[in-house]
Amino acid sequence: DTAVSQTPKYLVTQMGNDKSIKCEQNLGHDTMYWYKQDSKKFLKIMFSYNNKELIINETVPNRFSPKSPDKAHLNLHINSLELGDSAVYFCASSQVPDRVIGANVLTFGAGSRLTVL
Amino acid sequence: QKEVEQDPGPLSVPEGAIVSLNCTYSNSAFQYFMWYRQYSRKGPELLMYTYSSGNKEDGRFTAQVDKSSKYISLFIRDSQPSDSATYLCAVNDYKLSFGAGTTVTVRA
């Protein structure tokens, strides 16, 4: 039973299109994240939600809009896709809320590989 | 300035060698330091973490933190081909910031 699951695993689309990636976790964690990993493997946080509330919003174009319908789900919608959006997007979850108390151990999904043509 | 700097490598070693991976970080307030391992086409998974300065050992893996020099290390003893992966260091502030990752290949 997958702890953090993302769909779709692969996504190939044209520039200008709109696409969504969905994430679900069954760990009972309160906090969920979206990270972007570029071709050089650098993993950079985009957003974080704690109990459906947005707590981290890094410098990300407003074409990216996260939505958390409940604490077990976090979706990412991307409008007007650009070539530079091609990357692997990872969803993650953890039990630590918005401020660190102890080690913030993230559990990652397998990633959604987005290719924009 | 990035919060964590890591040499991206790549690093290629023969089976049985000791692998040494290093990172530096910028903020002396960080208290938790982590190493994640990422196999090709998979998500990162936690390998181990340390609190403050000192060493932590788990089987063939040893993590070291030197807070005076803001230096984090991971050593893999008796490396195996199954250790071939990308290793990412991370510092535990409110958002968990990662280094660039070092890709390691252990040759049989």
What DSSP letter does each residue of chain B carry, written as one string? --SEEE----EEEETTPPEEEEEEES-TT--EEEEEEE-TTS--EEEEEEESSEEEEETTEEEEEETTTTEEEEEESS--GGG-EEEEEEE-STT-EE---EEEEEE-
Whether A39 contacts chain B with CB within 8 A: no
Give how far B35 is from chain A: nearest CA, Å. 10
Nearest to A108 among B43, B49, B86 (CB): B43
Q: Which of B49, B94, B104 to mutate to test the interface with A (most CBs of A within 10 A)?
A: B94
What is the predicted pLDDT for the residue at A69? 92
pLDDT in tens, B44-92: 999 999 988 889 999 999 999 999 999 999 999 999 999 999 999 999 8
Pick the residue from chain B with its C-alpha nearest to A49.
B95
From the list A84, A87, A91, A39, the residue with the least C-alpha distance to A68 is A91
User: Could you give the CA distance from residue A8 to residue B82 in angstroms, rounded to a whole number?
Assistant: 28
Task: Using pLDDT thresholds of 50, 70 and 90, give the confidence band for residue B29.
Answer: confident
Contact list, A110 vs chain B (CB under 8 Å): 41-43
Q: Which of A2, A8, A36, A37 is nearest to A22 (CA)?
A: A8
Q: Does A103 sit within 8 Å of B44, measured CB to CB? A: no
Structure confidence by residue, pLDDT tens digits, A38-82: 988 889 999 999 888 898 888 789 999 999 999 999 999 999 999
Nearest-neighbour CA in chain B from A100: distance (Å): 5
User: B30: burial class by Cβ within 10 Å (0-12, 13-18, 19+)?
Assistant: buried
Question: Tokens 């704690």 appear where?
Answer: A50
pLDDT at A29 over 60: yes
Q: Which residues of A touch B94 (CB under 8 A)?
A: 56, 98-100, 104
